[in-house]
Each structure stands twice: as structure tokens, then as C-alpha cells.
Structure 1
């Protein structure tokens, strides 16, 4: 979609075979591998249609303007055909999870996540150093069991959240509503906030923080809307 310009006049949503399709001038939106963009939630379909509708007539657009569309495409074409591969990819974040490296000790957000994880038999080792921390033998297995219960919608949101934060553990806590998105954003941007407090204004650093926060907000919105399945 990079370099494309708006060519459609009208955006709509159509219900077909139990799914909801955003359409451009009555035509389905085709994803890169040829699948039709169709989701189970009318609320999510309407929001995706809104992304396309807000592009100005004749304006150029890139995938960055369509975050919900991108996540839906990932869910449909990458995750749905092989969800186990998606879980194994996500597990890679948890093997050396950013939440386990806490310069100031566990910290309130990390402590909240670890308390929640303990209910699933997951007890990560934590370090305040820079060297890789070794995890208990049953850590990966227990984390895999927690991931096994996540559906395609959650896996798509987890992919964005884990990438943005560098932590699968934090992403899981956000998806399962064990930690608020506000607290997760504060934790994810903590290092940059400390740098700004020490060194002052840094526009590039601020943009990085804003982009991270937007990715996290988009993922949370995708999950929230996608969970509103119409019956």
C-alpha cells in the first residue's frame, strides 16, 4: 500500500457469512496474500472502515495510516493459518524478557505483573545487572501454557505490544487486563523519561516514546473492539 493514493469514494461495512467486511466503493479489501479483510466484530470492522474513510480524497497513504487494518491482516494471513508458529515467535520475547531487567528492583508495575504470573506458576528470575539472567527450568513451559490459551485476536495484539515494550510478560498482563495500559506505557517509556530528566529536551527521543505509545494504544483498541463479537 506504500505510495498509493485514495481512489475510492465511499466506505461501508457489509455482513457476510457471519463476518463483517469493510468495503471500498462496495468492493472487499484484499490483503497482500489475497484474503478478503473480514472480521467477527462489527465494531472492529467499522473502525477499520473509519481508517480508510479518514484518508483525504486523492491523498497518498502508507500502512502507518492503517494500524487496525495491519493488525487484522496479520491476524488473518499470518496467525490464523498457523497460530502455534505465532505463539513460538512470541515465546522468544519471554525467554529473555525485558521486564526481568529492572535497574531499580522489581518496581511497582513489574511487581504487579509478577504477582499475576504467579497464579499461572510462572516465577521469573529478575536481575538489576546487564548480564543475561537464567530462568527456572519450568519457566518456558509454563509461559507456553499461558500462550496456548490465547486466540488469534489476542496473539495479534500481543505481537504489537511485545514488540513495543520488549516484554512478553508485560504484554500478556495488558491483554489479560492484569495491568492497565497507562501503567504499561509508563513502564515502557521509563528509560527515555529518565534520560529526558537528566539531559533535557530530545526531539528524537520524544518521537520514539510517542510512536511506542501509539502502537500500544492501537493494539489495545484492536483487542477491545475485536472482542465485541456480534451475535
Structure 2
């Protein structure tokens, strides 16, 4: 989609076989591998349609304009055909999780996450050093069980959150409702805030923080809207 310009006039949402399709001038949106963009939630479909609708006529756009569309595409074309591969990839991140490195001590957000994880039999080791932490026996298996319960929608969100925050464990707690998006942003941006406090204004660092916050909040919106499915 890079370098494309808006060519459509109308954006609508159509219900078809229990799914909701955002359409451009009545035509389905085709994803890179050819699948039709269709989701189970009308609220999510309307929000995706809104992304396309807010692009001004004749304006060039890139995938950055369409974060909900990107996540839906990942869910449909990459995760749905092979959900276990997505779980295995996420599990690899959780084995050496950023939340387990606490140079300044375990903070309140980490305490919330660890308390929530303990209810699922996940008990990570933490370190205040730089060497890789060795997780206890059974940790990987317990984390795999927790991931096994996540559906395609949640796996798509976890992929974005884990990349943005550097922590699968924190991301799981957000998806599980144990940690707010605001707290996730605060934890993810903590190092940059410390650097700004020490060294002063840094526009590049601020942009990094803003982009990370946007990714986290977009993922939260995708999750919330995607869960609004009528049964």
C-alpha cells in the first residue's frame, strides 16, 4: 500500500455470512495474500472502515495510516492459518522477558503482572543484573498453556503489544485485564523517561515514546472492538 493514493469515494460495511466487510466503493478490501478483509465484530469493521474513510481524497497513504487494518490482516492471513506458530513465536519472547529484568527493583506494574500470572501457575524469576535470567522448571510449559488459551484476535494483539513493550508477560496481563493500557505505556516508556530526566530534551526519544504509546493504544482498541461480537 506504500505510495498509493485514495481512489475511492465511499466506504461502507457489509455483513456477509456472519462476518463484516469494510468495502471501498462497494468492493471488498483485499489483503496482501488475496484474502478479503472480514471480521466477526461489526464495531471493529466500522473502525477499520473509519481508517480508510479519514484518508483525504488524492492523499498518498502507507500502512502507518491503517493500524487496525494491519492487525486484522495479520490475524486473517498469518495467525488464523497457523495459530500454533504464532504462539511458539510469542513463547520465545516470554522465555527471556523484559519484565524479568528489574535494575531498580520490582515496580508496581510488575507486581500486578506477577500476581496475575501466579493464578495461572506462571512464576518467573527476576534479576537486577545484566546476565540472562534462568527461568525455573515448568515456567515454559505454564506459559505455553496460558498462550494456548488465546484466540486469533488476542494473538494478533499480543504480537503488537509484546513488540511495543518488550514484554510478553506484561502484554498477557493487559489482554487478561489485569493491567491497564495506561500502566503498560508507563512501564514501556520508563527507560526513555529516565534518560530525558537525566539528559534533557531529545526529540528522537520523544518520537519513539509517542510511537510506542500509539502502538499500545491501537492494539487495545483492536482488542476491545474485536471482542464486541454478538452471539
User: Which TM-score band applies after superposition, normalised by the shorter structure?
Assistant: over 0.9
Report runs of 4+ in structure 1 exceeding 4 Å deviation.
none
In structure 1, the partner of 2:84 is 84
Displacement of 1:103 after TM fit? 1.1
TM-score (norm 1): 0.99
Measured in 2, the distance between the counterparts of 1:148 and 1:6 equals 40
Show the counterpart of 1:105.
Answer: 105
Write the deviation string for residues 74-116 of structure 1: whole angstroms up to 9, x where unpaired.
0000000010000001111101000000111111100110011
**Does 1:178 find its partner at 2:209?**
no
* Residue 164 of structure 1 pairs with residue 164 of structure 2: yes
Query: 1:47 and 2:47 equivalent?
Result: yes
Q: What's 1:195 paired with?
A: 195
Q: Which residue in 1 is equivalent to 2:149? A: 149
Aligned length: 231
Partner SS, residue 15 of structure 1: strand
- Give 1:193 deviation, angstroms: 0.3
Residue aligning to 1:119: 119
Cα distance in 2 for residues equivalent to 1:230 and 1:37: 19
Query: CA deviation digits over 1:120-158, x for unaligned, max 9?
Result: 111100001111000011000000000000000000000
RMSD (CA atoms) = 0.5
Please state if 1:13 is matched with 2:13.
Answer: yes
1:33 Cα offset (Å): 0.4
- Aligned residue for 1:13, secondary structure, equals strand
Instruction: Please state whether the residue corresponding to 2:9 is helix, strand or coil.
Output: coil
1:208-223 correspondence to structure 2 within 5 Å:
208-223=208-223
1:4 is aligned to 4
Shift of 1:230: 2.7
SS in 1 for 2:56: coil
Aligned residue for 1:222, secondary structure, equals: helix
Whole-Å Cα distance in 2 between the matches of residues 106 and 125 of structure 1?
11
Secondary structure of the corresponding residue to residue 81 of structure 1: coil
Partner of 1:95: 95
Q: What secondary structure sits across from 2:14 in the alignment?
A: strand
Uncovered stretches (5+) of structure 2, i.e. residues with no partner: none
Q: Using the TM superposition, give the Cα deviation of residue 177 of structure 1 relative to its aligned residue in structure 2, in angstroms.
A: 0.6
Bigger mean CA offset, 99-108 vs 142-151: 99-108
Alignment of 1:61-80 (within 5 A): 61-80=61-80
Q: Report the 3-state secondary structure (helix = DSSP H, G, I; strand = E; otherwise coil) of the residue aligned with 1:87.
A: helix
